[in-house]
């Protein structure tokens, strides 16, 4: 059994390295690079959701007592020559436009990039009352301090959400997922979090009450909280914490799952 387990881990590790290395296929760090910074603001009248989409880079969203969205972007473009890198980089822009009750923030790139996406690191500050929806292909997502629902999806990169108070829906293909609720958040939380290759960790509020489903195909499953178990399979837990008012659903294909 141990041999099979280690073999699966070895295969998964090679797969992880291959996927991560694939992010750099065709890239040449010696190529010319152009970097620029952008700052913009957007009104929030009638807005209750922030939606952010980036292909490559980083998304960081922080809650603060502000009357409008504050957006800071670091944009990096690469090309064979400095002139072309600057031309491409200067043409990249950040858009922040309302769509219904959502403020949609996205990266708009010129056609000259082809399949070579610019790297864009976004730092956004909005009120804590908003819901957050963030999506990225390659890079990390960090969300902190929001009272509304949070949805985050990535392909290669970590997802870290702290100060949660509402529903959370967090998923990545390769990378760790860490969700931390505020200590005084409602006991009946609702969270669905998963990683294909990576660890999944949940820190609940001080008073936690939820039905639990936690599983890993290759890895450990553990809980620091007392769990009334209704079904315990190999590398999986089914049960309840407290009176089971909320819902916790955690999954990892290759990696550990932990409830704190």
- Which region, left, alpha or beta, applies to residue 165 given φ > 0 means left and ψ of -120 to 50 means alpha? alpha
177 lies in which domain range? Answer: 158-260
Question: Which of 106, 136, 166 delimits the end of a domain?
Answer: 136
Whole-angstrom distance, CA of residue 161 vs CA of residue 22: 26
Of residues 194 and 19, which shows the higher confidence score?
194
Q: What was the pLDDT predicted at 158? A: 98
Same domain, 34 and 123: yes
Number of domains making up the chain: 2
- Interval 3-15: pLDDT, tens: 343 333 443 443 3
Same domain, 164 and 96: no
Same domain, 79 and 27: yes
Q: To which residue do tokens 């082809």 refer? A: 114
Q: What was the pLDDT predicted at 3? A: 39
Same domain, 33 and 123: yes
Name the pairing type of β-strands 32-43 and 246-254. unpaired
pTM: 0.85
- Interval 171-202: pLDDT, tens: 999 999 999 999 999 999 999 999 999 999 99
The DSSP result for 130-163, as a single string, is SEEEEEEEEEEEEEES-SS-EEEEEEES-EEEEE
Same domain, 79 and 169: no
């Amino acid at each position: 059994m141990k041999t099979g387990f280690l073999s699966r881990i070895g295969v998964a590790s090679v797969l992880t390295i291959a996927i991560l290395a694939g992010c750099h296929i065709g890239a040449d760090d010696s190529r010319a690079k152009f970097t620029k910074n952008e700052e913009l603001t957007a009104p929030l009248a009638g807005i209750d959701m922030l939606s952010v989409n980036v292909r490559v880079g980083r998304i960081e969203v922080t809650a603060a007592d502000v009357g409008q969205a504050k957006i800071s972007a670091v944009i990096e473009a690469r090309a064979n020559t400095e002139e072309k890198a600057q031309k491409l980089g200067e043409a990249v822009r950040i858009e922040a436009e309302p769509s219904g009750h959502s403020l949609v923030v996205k990266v708009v790139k010129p056609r000259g990039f082809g399949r070579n996406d610019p790297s864009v690191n976004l730092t956004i500050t909005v009120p804590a009352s908003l819901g957050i929806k963030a999506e990225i292909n390659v890079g990390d997502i960090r969300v902190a301090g929001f009272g509304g629902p949070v949805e985050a999806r990535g392909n290669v990169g970590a997802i870290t959400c702290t100060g949660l108070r509402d529903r959370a829906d967090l998923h990545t293909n390769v990378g760790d997922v860490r969700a931390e609720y505020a200590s005084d958040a409602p006991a009946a939380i609702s969270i669905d979090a998963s990683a294909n290759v990576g660890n999944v960790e949940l820190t609940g509020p001080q008073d936690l009450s939820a039905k639990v489903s936690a599983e890993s195909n290759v890895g450990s499953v553990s809980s620091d909280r007392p769990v009334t178990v209704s079904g315990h399979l190999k590398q999986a837990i089914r049960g309840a914490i407290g009176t089971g008012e909320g819902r916790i659903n955690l999954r990892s294909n290759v990696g550990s799952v932990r409830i704190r």
